[in-house]
Amino acid sequence: MLKINQFKILYLILSISFLLLLNITDISANESWSLKGTLINGSDNINLSNHIVILHVSINEQIVEYSTESNKDGIFYFNDINHPSDSIIGISSVFQGVLYGKDLGLISNQTDDILLTVYKSSDNSDNISISSSTIMFTSINRSQNTIWVLELSKINNNSNVTFKPNPDKPMSIMRYGLPQNYIDLMIDSDMIGVEFVAIDKGFGILGNIYPGEHQLLFTYGIKYENSDYTFKRNNQFELENFRIISENTLDLYLNEFDYQSTTTEVNDKSYDLIEINNISKGKLIEIDFKNLPKPSLFDQLSNYLKSLDIGWILSIVFLVFSTLIISKILITKRNTNYL
């Protein structure tokens, strides 16, 4: 009986030791970190006091958040943050209704004080301009009567104030006009937290435009009917540099501007280049296309068949087939009566 009790005690001691070892290993995997930073009002170039700052910690696809408040000198601290060294962190703060954030990478890499800059907000768009806009007519699909277009626009907020559209004025958002018969629009941007919405003859940007330069890339197709076509674009903002890049097989002209067409290389392929500087706000840009290729008769027939509603076609076929069967039945019945 004594040996059994001794065995139980030994087993219990080993079990507790094993659990303690697991616990020690688990604790050693998490290290304690302390972070220090400064919250800055970039519009007035002063430290922002008594303001909430959020620390986001990403580990194993989960987000843990901590909050603190900057002191009278704009300094904030996060102390005793227990997470593995490979945790990814970021900070954020909301100022005048606008979210500002900063990715910081691995928590173990934080050796310097953190700086987070926020800005005042305004719905005044006077300081918004387009530093450059490139329209590239990449190809033409003759069979589909379609010109394919790629546009790269660099949006510049030249101030130290974030542009925040007035929610009560829908037309105050940044807008891009597109041809009325555009198709297959795709948009990408490095702007944070914005959404793109379809508006009349184009799309709008729902979101804030922070100080600095931002890129907007979009592609689409233009359906044309005749061999001549005019592309139109009305500038909402000042445009500092405007470029048109096209295949040298395309016959196009830029109206009401003096320019010299040159040649440029894109991916080892030669293209025609038209470049204009300093286009004023509200100026209408018109690009005339001449001698666009028209689809062949085979292409037109194929496009027509593709445009037909298959359900409608099946209904017509069914109606014709049913009519033939009924007619045959009636004729057979009448011939039988004659006999």
State residue 72's pLDDT score.
96
Strands, DSSP E only, in 113-237?
Answer: 114-118, 120-122, 128-141, 146-157, 161-163, 174-177, 182-189, 195-199, 202-206, 212-223, 229-234
Cα separation, 39 vs 54, in Å, equals 11
State residue 156's pLDDT score.
95
Task: Please provide residue 309's backbone torsions phi and psi, each rounded to the nearest 5 degrees.
Answer: -80, 115
* Encoded tokens for 220: 């689409």
State residue 335's pLDDT score.
61
State residue 27's pLDDT score.
41
In eight-state DSSP terms, residue 283 is: P
Whether 83 shows a pLDDT value over 90: the answer reads yes
Q: How many CB atoms lie within 10 A of CB 292?
A: 18
Distances from the Cα of 96 to the Cαs of 54, 120, 170, 208, in angstroms? Answer: 16, 7, 20, 12
Which of 22-31, 70-79, 93-102 is least confident? 22-31
Per DSSP, the residues of 58-88 read EETTEEEEEEEE--TTSEEEEEEEEE-TT-E
| Mean pLDDT, residues 171-187 | 91
- Closest residue by Cα to residue 249 from 166, 159, 165, 137: 137
Contact present, 296 and 263 (Cβ < 8 Å):
no
Distances from the Cα of 331 to the Cαs of 300, 326, 334, 336, 338, in angstroms? Answer: 41, 9, 5, 9, 11
| Mean pLDDT, residues 26-38 | 78
**∠ CA 179-181-184, rounded to 5°:** 95
| Mean pLDDT, residues 99-118 | 93
State residue 238's pLDDT score.
92
Whether 317 shows a pLDDT value over 80: the answer reads no
Q: Which helix (H) or strand (E) holds 16?
A: helix 2-29
- Closest residue by Cα to residue 208 from 95, 47, 103, 115: 95
Q: Does domain 128-290 match CATH 3.30.2030?
A: no
What average pLDDT is seen over the chain? 84
| Mean pLDDT, residues 275-302 | 82
Q: How is the chain split into domains, by residue range?
A: 2-118, 128-290
Buried b (16+ CB within 10 A) or exposed e, 51-83: bebbbbbeeeeeeeebebebeeebebebeebeb
- Closest residue by Cα to residue 242 from 205, 200, 212, 287: 287
- Closest residue by Cα to residue 96 from 46, 171, 157, 43: 43
Which of 84-98, 138-152, 246-260, 304-318 is least confident? 304-318
**∠ CA 234-238-239, rounded to 5°:** 80
**What's 2-118's CATH class?**
mainly beta
Contact present, 134 and 243 (Cβ < 8 Å):
yes
- Closest residue by Cα to residue 274 from 256, 259, 295: 259
Query: CA 57, 58, 59, 62 torsion: positive or negative?
Result: positive
Whether 145 shows a pLDDT value over 60: the answer reads yes
Task: Please provide residue 63's backbone torsions phi and psi, each rounded to the nearest 5 degrees.
Answer: -110, 125
Query: CA 322, 325, 329, 331 torsion: positive or negative?
Result: positive
Cα separation, 177 vs 200, in Å, equals 8
Q: Which residues pair with 254 in a beta bridge?
A: 287
Whether 128-290 and 2-118 are alike in CATH topology: the answer is: yes
The pLDDT > 90 percentage for the chain reads 58
Which of 66-80, 111-125, 147-161, 251-265 is least confident? 251-265
| Mean pLDDT, residues 18-37 | 64
**∠ CA 244-299-202, rounded to 5°:** 40
